[in-house]
């Protein structure tokens, strides 16, 4: 038997830990849920008394100190763990990281805000343990389930998104948008490398990525009302959803970031043209008007990308100013290339929009390439 040089005892002498192996891990993504964490823990404790379980709170460095509350609870309760992520945001990414941090054979994902019904967890676990299902979904859209007091806009949006996902991605479960589900960890590990860490719709991603190969059972539950804190779902969640659908439709050829890049780029081009047009009307020499247009478009692109494309790594306050300055700096070369290309084209062929577009294209390629490497440091 191979031994480590410093060892006199065979490796087999290492005794196993004394904690019982966990059957179930409940992964709870949190952002600003300080008041909900202890309440959820008490509810899990009551609902899971017959099960060896653990809970992992995955907190994105909440400013209200949610992670501190979770750590404090973990000091006296070994079933509790907390992952504090710094410099990252995103519900899906947090869930993926939490699930991958557990060794339990079964993992559940649920919200911290008590809107999901923890009393369903033993039933969900039973369905997995009996082999009847590989994935169990807490569903608002099967008989016996409901969406609680969703307003008409949110209900309409939810139903519409569900129908789009079902038709385009050929998904045949009733509630692929649910944030409440449980599955076998081995199945998850197989799918994990293909999942998107951006966005909110991890279940939809899972089901679409599995492509019908997961045995799914849905159990009804009633979506509760949030008591403390507020929802983090904003209107930009629509973008995440559309991006995910498109990525899955194109077999991950077109990523969400790429789409947002293109969208912001298109808007930037519009801003560029408008500024160039106004500049020329004000009798600015062409090169100056083009330079000004690029500057305005660049600033707009930076702000929009910070708002949309990189909303998960959004820069704020001082970091925003620093990012903008860095953006100008690293794109200075791009701006020179932009004006140079545009002026050369204009010299050859004095068509302002052709010259402007050629220059802007040059600038856009630079801005995107360099900014994603240095300004937001995305993967
Ligand atoms: N770590 C982390 N990072 N957690 C987050 C983030 C984030 O960026 N954004 C939200 N969360 C946490 C919240 O703290 C909460 O525990 C959970 O994720 C759900 O967020 P909510 O803000 O409560 O979302 P919701 O109630 O509006 O939406 C829920 O229901 C939808 C179905 O209508 C979620 O479960 C959605 O995934 C689900 O689609
Ligand atoms: Mn919620």
pLDDT tens for residues 81-94? 999 999 888 899 99
* pLDDT band at 346; cut points 50, 70, 90: very high
- 284 and 348 in a common domain: yes
* Ligand that comes closest to the CA of residue 111: 1
Question: Whose CA is closest to atom 23 on ligand 1?
Answer: 231
Question: Whose CA is closest to atom 26 on ligand 1?
Answer: 231
- Pick the atom of ligand 1 nearest to 147's CA: 33
Query: Does the pLDDT value for residue 10 go beyond 80?
Result: no
pLDDT tens for residues 12-34? 566 666 667 899 999 999 999 99
- 274 and 229 in a common domain: no
131, burial (CB in 10 Å: exposed 0-12, middle 13-18, buried 19+): exposed
Q: Do the Cβ atoms of 178 and 139 come closer than 8 Å? A: yes
Instruction: Examine the fold and report which residue of 237, 264, 299 is the final residue of a domain before the chain moves on.
Output: 237
Ion ligand 2, residue ranges at CB < 5 A: 111, 113, 115
Helical axes 202-210 vs 152-169, angle rounded to 10°: 20
> What backbone torsions phi and psi does residue 137 show, to the nearest 5 degrees?
-110, 130
- Pick the atom of ligand 1 nearest to 177's CA: 39
Residue 249 lies in a domain: no
Pocket test for ligand 1, best of 227, 232, 238, 240 (most atoms within 8 A of CB): 232
Residue 350 lies in a domain: yes
Pairing of strands 106-109, 181-184: antiparallel
- 127 and 36 in a common domain: yes
Residue 1 is predicted with a pLDDT of 45
Q: How far is the CA of 229 from the centre of ligand 2 (A)?
A: 9
Sequence-ordered strand ranges (E) for the chain: 24-30, 53-59, 80-84, 106-109, 135-139, 181-184, 216-220
Pocket test for ligand 1, best of 148, 179, 222 (most atoms within 8 A of CB): 179
Residue 378 is predicted with a pLDDT of 46
Residue 5 is predicted with a pLDDT of 55
- 286 and 201 in a common domain: no
Q: What integer is the mean pLDDT of 106-125?
A: 97
Q: Which two tokens stand for residue 144?
A: 């016996």
Question: What is the rounded CA–CA span in Å between residue 320 and residue 314?
Answer: 8
Specify the CATH number for the domain of residue 190.
Answer: 3.90.550.10
Q: How far is the CA of 248 from the centre of ligand 2 (A)?
A: 25
SS3 of residue 117 by DSSP: coil
Instruction: Examine the fold and report which residue of 237, 268, 283 is the final residue of a domain before the chain moves on.
Output: 237
Question: What is the rounded CA–CA span in Å between residue 165 and residue 186?
Answer: 25
Residue 46 lies in a domain: yes
Q: How far is the CA of 106 from the centre of ligand 1 (A)?
A: 21
Q: Do the Cβ atoms of 240 and 198 come closer than 8 Å? A: yes
- 225 and 311 in a common domain: no
- 319 and 233 in a common domain: no
Residue 266 lies in a domain: yes
Question: What is the rounded CA–CA span in Å between residue 221 and residue 209?
Answer: 25
Residue 13 lies in a domain: no
Task: Name all residues whose Cβ lies below 6 A of ligand 1.
Answer: 29-31, 33, 58-60, 89-91, 94, 111-113, 115, 158, 177, 179, 200, 231-233
- Pick the atom of ligand 1 nearest to 31's CA: 14
- 261 and 233 in a common domain: no
Query: Does the pLDDT value for residue 52 go beyond 90?
Result: yes
Which residue range is the domain that position 135 belongs to?
Answer: 24-237
Residue 73 is predicted with a pLDDT of 98
Residue 72 lies in a domain: yes
Question: What is the rounded CA–CA span in Å between residue 246 and residue 258?
Answer: 11
Nearest to 305 by CA among 252, 365, 265, 247: 265
Instruction: Examine the fold and report which residue of 237, 265, 290 is the final residue of a domain before the chain moves on.
Output: 237
- 297 and 225 in a common domain: no
Question: Whose CA is closest to atom 33 on ligand 1?
Answer: 178
- 77 and 123 in a common domain: yes
Number of domains the chain contains: 2
Average pLDDT, the chain: 89
Residue 4 is predicted with a pLDDT of 55
pLDDT tens for residues 152-179? 888 888 888 889 888 888 898 999 999 9
Q: Tell me what percent of the chain is helix, strand and coil, each rounded to the nearest 5.
A: 55, 10, 35
- 302 and 175 in a common domain: no
Question: What is the rounded CA–CA span in Å between residue 204 and residue 194?
Answer: 13
Selected residue with higher pLDDT from 2 and 95? 95
Q: How far is the CA of 111 from the centre of ligand 1 (A)?
A: 6
Residue 26 is predicted with a pLDDT of 98
- 223 and 104 in a common domain: yes
Q: How far is the CA of 228 from the centre of ligand 1 (A)?
A: 13
Q: How far is the CA of 213 from the centre of ligand 2 (A)?
A: 29
Q: Which two tokens stand for residue 93?
A: 């990414």
Residue 130 lies in a domain: yes
- Pick the atom of ligand 1 nearest to 158's CA: 33
Selected residue with higher pLDDT from 186 and 87? 186
Residue 250 lies in a domain: no
Pocket test for ligand 1, best of 65, 177, 200, 206 (most atoms within 8 A of CB): 200
Q: Do the Cβ atoms of 66 and 37 come closer than 8 Å? A: yes
Q: How far is the CA of 174 from the centre of ligand 2 (A)?
A: 19
Q: What integer is the mean pLDDT of 332-358?
A: 89
- 279 and 143 in a common domain: no
Q: How far is the CA of 157 from the centre of ligand 2 (A)?
A: 16
Q: How far is the CA of 71 from the centre of ligand 1 (A)?
A: 20
Helical axes 352-374 vs 286-307, angle rounded to 10°: 40
Question: Whose CA is closest to atom 36 on ligand 1?
Answer: 179
pLDDT tens for residues 232-285? 877 778 878 888 888 888 887 776 777 787 788 889 889 989 999 999 999 999
């Amino acid at each position: 038997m191979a031994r480590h040089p410093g060892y006199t005892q065979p490796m087999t002498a290492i005794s196993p830990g004394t904690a019982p192996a966990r059957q179930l891990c409940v992964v709870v993504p949190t952002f600003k849920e300080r008041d909900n964490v202890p309440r959820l823990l008490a509810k899990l404790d009551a609902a899971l008394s017959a099960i060896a379980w653990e809970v992992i709170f995955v907190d994105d460095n909440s400013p209200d100190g949610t992670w501190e509350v979770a750590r404090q609870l973990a000091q006296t309760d070994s079933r509790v763990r907390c992952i504090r992520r710094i410099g990252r945001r995103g519900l899906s990414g947090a869930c993926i990281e939490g699930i991958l941090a557990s060794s339990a054979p079964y993992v559940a994902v649920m919200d911290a805000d008590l809107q999901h019904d923890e009393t369903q967890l033993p039933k969900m676990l039973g369905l997995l343990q009996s082999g009847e299902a590989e994935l169990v979904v807490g569903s608002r859209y099967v008989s016996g389930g409901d969406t609680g007091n969703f307003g008409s806009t949110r209900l309409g949006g939810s139903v519409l998104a569900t129908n789009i996902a079902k038709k385009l991605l050929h998904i045949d479960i009733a509630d692929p948008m649910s944030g409440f589900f449980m599955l076998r960890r081995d199945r998850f590990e197989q799918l994990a490398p293909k999942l998107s860490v951006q966005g909110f719709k991890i279940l939809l991603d899972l089901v679409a990525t599995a492509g019908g190969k997961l045995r799914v059972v849905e159990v009804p539950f009633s979506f509760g009302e949030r008591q403390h804190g507020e929802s983090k779902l904003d209107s930009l969640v629509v973008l995440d959803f559309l991006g995910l659908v498109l990525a899955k439709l194109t077999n991950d050829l077109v990523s969400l970031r790429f789409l947002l890049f293109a969208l912001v780029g298109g808007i930037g081009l519009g801003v560029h043209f408008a500024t160039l047009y106004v500049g020329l009307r004000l009798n600015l020499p062409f090169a100056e008007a083009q330079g000004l247009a690029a500057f305005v478009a660049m600033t707009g692109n930076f702000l929009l990308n910070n708002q949309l494309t990189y909303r998960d790594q959004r820069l704020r306050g001082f970091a925003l100013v620093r990012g903008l300055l860095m953006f100008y700096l690293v794109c200075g070369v791009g701006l020179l290339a932009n004006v140079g290309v545009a002026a050369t084209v204009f010299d050859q062929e004095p068509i302002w929009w052709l010259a402007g577009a050629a220059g802007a294209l040059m600038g856009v390629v630079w801005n995107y390439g360099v900014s994603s490497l240095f300004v937001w440091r995305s993967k």
